[in-house]
Structure 1
Amino acid sequence: MTLRPARLRVSDQLRLGGVGLRARPLRAFLSALGIAIGIAAMTAVVGISSSSRAELDRALDALGTNMLTVAPGDTMFGGDATLPDEALTMIERIGPVTSATATGSVGTRVYRNDRIPEGETGGLALLAARLDLLETVGAGLAHGSWLNAATDDYPVVVLGATAAQRLGDVPTIWIDGRAYTVAGVLEKVPLAPELNSAVLVGWPAAESYLDFDGHPTTVYTRAVPAKVEAVRAVLAATANPESPDEVQVSRPSDALAAQRATDRAFTALLLGLGAVALLVGGIGVANTMVISVLERRAEIGLRRSLGATRGQIRTQFVTESLLLSLLGGLSGVLGGAAVTAVHAGTQGWPAVVPLWALAGGPAATLVIGAAAGLYPAVRAARSAPTEALSAA
């Protein structure tokens, strides 16, 4: 009668693999700690670099890397062109466009009060503005409040920073024979300097009180950074399909090219550092498993004498290696993420740990652990029972 070795279930293999770790807890802890330090170093380096890149991207976005402006140009006869009333709505329908807003030139003079001579306007422009203007151009308020749904229809204005300096600290200003309440003052707007010397009134109020024709004169557009060039290529035809040649579109910021070059450099750096950390972790696993085989030759011989097959011995040591790698990998990822969060918090950066680093750390350690534990497992399986028992 031929005896056949029993097959080990997955649960049995996991339990058997865990025996070696539990039997030598200090060595298992130190080995897992070595792997965890390597993975934590990789995760922390990737996380801190990604957080730094996120902060750099945020700073570059403040420079308008993804903002384009659309304005009317000249007609074929040399006159001033106009944008259609639907230009803003059409631009908002472009897929990669994340936000768009507009201002329109009202063409009415602004005075500090009704006693100022007609010619002394201070060179201020009166613009009709949409409610979402501040978010799109990245503007902030120095004091007061921005236009809202309640004040958009009434004689209320917001002053640009330069306009406020020229007009002084006044509660009202005079426009077309009517007093307008000053609701707030903007900070300097680096992305749209024309707003600094402007007086901004709500779009409906401009149409009701100032005979504004509703044509936008400047459309501010934000697009997905990777699609800025593609958006720019269709903006003119989208804003004015009948006469795209009569539309002026700004070119992308030079900072966009610098941002993309920085992203490529960071990506190469992260991949290189991650590969080095994983290699160090793999060497640690291989070293641990080789020593484990040498120390446990008696155990291997006894199991072989009791009927364990070479395949079961190989499975045991590969499972041990995988468990050890997984324990170290998970601990390392958590430790690296914690280090990233602490460092980013002290620097005032957004804490960013890429998903591929969080998932890839344990996954990579499993792959490396399996490869690193394969040679010791094969060596253990090849040990003859009598030779292993006699050596013990």
Structure 2
Amino acid sequence: MRRPPAGPLSRLRLADLLPVATIGLRTRPGRAALSVLGVAIGIAAMVAVLGVTRSSQAEVLAQLDRLGTNLLTVASSDPRGGQETQLPDGAASSVRRTEGVLAASATAQLDDLAVYRSDLIPDAHGGGLDVRATDTALLSTLDASLLNGVFLDEATANYPVVVLGFKAATVLGVADLTGDDRIWLGDRWFVVVGILQPVELAPEIDRAALIGFGAAASGLGWDGHPTRVYVRTDTTRTEEVASMLPRAANPQAASRVAVSRPSDVLSARLTVADATTSLFLGLGAVALLVGGIGIANVMVISVLERRGEVGLRRALGAARRHVAVQFVVESVLLGAVGGGVGVLLGAAVTVVLAQNRGWQPIIPPAAAGLGLAAAVVVGTVAGLYPALRAARMPPTEALRTA
């Protein structure tokens, strides 16, 4: 017996696919919005983490470029009670003669001295500020700058004049030098001739009152021993110079000398930022996974609710692949819309946080592209099972249980 000729193959035109695939989205917008929100939160978290991290790292790198990585500090390796211990009196001169050293400046922390705005303030209210004797080359060695006034020179270094670090000036309430600004230091008055800008690589200078070596020796009993030496090196030889400085500073006890590079603190922030980024990216991925599970759940419910529609389409000649494609496209649209919204939210969070902290907002294009692609992939995977379930549904059973 000959089979009847097969009818024309069922076709689903691309022009009809989008209207058919968006029926569920258009008829149940609230449910669709919640599904989109789940994906959007995950993508927004990932984009924001990458954007904020990149903005922060760019700021740190800019600081490193601006401040330089060739500043070293030489000090004793066994400070006692927070006080710096003495180096040999010729430490700075010996360090300057070391090959690869461009400049070196010595300072000495003067113990048991406090700084006051007035001679009427009790001794117990010192404000936690230090007094440091310094040479006149400190400003250029640190590549620091003045907020107001002038720095110590060969003449003023021998007289009771002082330059305040930025924090010290703030604590003492010295904002400008328009009047007769004086501070009480070592039972005598010192005239304030300058205020420094913040010195990011030497925070101990920020909270110090700086006086000249001559004034420290003649009026405050300084014995000529420095406690810290700041060194600028040839950038290409910083590591090499660092290894030579302990013996140069104290040939008799090189093991008691510590050499540090202040910029390493900034570099460490980059490492910490990378570790934190990985953690938050993991949390964002978990949120995205939860959003994908939400899409899958919505699609399963959608298939159950639209059994009659599926059965009718199958009875009228729709192929299984057409039914499957319909639900997969719907799921992909949920993921894509969620991804797009998430990218925009993540970018907005990055811009707001960066501007609040004074950073240049940076949104990596790869983060936006990969975030959107991840959302589409999640939407596709989430829709596969519901789509296959709808495609395998027999028309008669679908119509009978609708």
TM-score range, shorter chain: 0.5 to 0.7
Does the alignment pair 1:28 with 2:32? yes
Does the alignment pair 1:140 with 2:145? yes
Counterpart position of 1:389? 399
Counterpart position of 1:319? 329
Q: Is the 8 A contact 1:36 1:330 kept in 2?
A: yes
Counterpart position of 1:377? 387
Secondary structure of 1:143's counterpart equals strand
Name the aligned partner's letter for residue 329 of structure 1. G
Counterpart position of 1:50? 53
Q: Is the 8 A contact 1:69 1:221 kept in 2?
A: no
Unaligned stretches of 5+ in structure 1? 72-77, 89-101, 106-122, 145-156, 171-182, 200-216, 223-229, 237-245
Distance 1:164 1:377, change over 3 A: farther
Secondary structure of 1:307's counterpart equals coil
CA offsets 1:310-360 (integer angstroms, 9 cap, x no match): 1121111111101011111211232233344445555x3537565254333
TM-fit CA distance, 1:379 = 0.3
Question: Normalising to structure 2: TM-score of the pair?
Answer: 0.54
Distance 1:289 1:325 in 2: 12
Equivalent pairs, count: 292
Name the aligned partner's letter for residue 359 of structure 2. P
Unaligned stretches of 5+ in structure 2? 75-92, 106-132, 163-176, 179-192, 213-229, 243-247, 249-258
Greater mean deviation of Cα atoms: 332-341 or 365-374: 332-341
Counterpart position of 1:279? 289
Distance 1:271 1:279, change over 3 A: same
Q: Is the 8 A contact 1:103 1:129 kept in 2?
A: no
Q: Is the 8 A contact 1:28 1:324 kept in 2?
A: yes
Name the aligned partner's letter for residue 35 of structure 2. S
Distance 1:18 1:351 in 2: 40
TM-fit CA distance, 1:48 = 8.6
Distance 1:334 1:79 in 2: 59
Q: Is the 8 A contact 2:25 2:32 kept in 1?
A: yes
Name the aligned partner's letter for residue 322 of structure 2. Q
Distance 2:14 2:194 in 1: 70
Q: Is the 8 A contact 2:35 2:291 kept in 1?
A: no
Matches within 5 A, 1:1-392: 1-5=5-9, 7-8=11-12, 12-44=16-48, 46=49, 50=53, 54=57, 57=60, 66-68=69-71, 137=143, 139-143=144-148, 186-187=196-197, 189=199, 191=201, 219=232, 232=238, 252-253=261-262, 255=265, 258-259=268-269, 261-343=271-353, 345-346=355-356, 348=357, 350=359, 355=364, 356-392=366-402
Distance 1:221 1:376, change over 3 A: farther
Q: CA RMSD in A?
A: 5.2
Name the aligned partner's letter for residue 318 of structure 2. A
Q: Is the 8 A contact 1:321 1:373 kept in 2?
A: yes
Q: Is the 8 A contact 1:314 1:378 kept in 2?
A: yes
Q: Is the 8 A contact 1:318 1:373 kept in 2?
A: yes
Name the aligned partner's letter for residue 279 of structure 2. L
TM-fit CA distance, 1:309 = 1.4
Distance 1:220 1:377, change over 3 A: same
CA offsets 1:105-126 (integer angstroms, 9 cap, x no match): 9xxxxxxxxxxxxxxxxx9756
Name the aligned partner's letter for residue 142 of structure 1. L
